Amino acid sequence: MFLNIGSNFNIFYEDIIAVIDIEDMKAGANKEFIENMRKNKNCIILGGKNRSLIVADKKGKTKIYLSSVSVKTIKKRFTFIAAYLKSDVRARNYKK
């Protein structure tokens, strides 16, 4: 299943490592981490005011996505997918 993380951009939900409020990433080592990811072309800016940072493992390579979608909204979407998958697994096991 894919998760929409903003600007019509979808990411495979199993690739997501962390979703962090951008306000928590504006100082010290966190800011340096974002700058290094940008320099190495591992940072994708999805547009709008950055509200969250998504860390993902894409084919063995760490990437970050700066999104205008809040952490709370991404969490709701993730929870919805997890609940769907859980119910789908139950349904398949029930049919056996």
pLDDT tens, 7-21? Answer: 999 999 999 999 999
Q: Dihedral through CA 6, CA 12, CA 16, CA 19, nearest 10?
A: 20
Counted domains in the chain? 1
pLDDT tens across 19-69, in order? 999 998 888 899 999 999 999 999 999 999 999 999 999 899 999 999 999
> What is the pTM for the complete model shown?
0.85
Q: Which range marks the domain in which residue 74 is found? A: 2-95
Q: Is 88 helix (H, G, I), strand (E, B) or coil?
A: helix
**CA dihedral for 83, 77, 40, 32, sign (positive or negative):** negative
For the cut 80, the answer to whether the pLDDT of residue 80 exceeds it is: yes
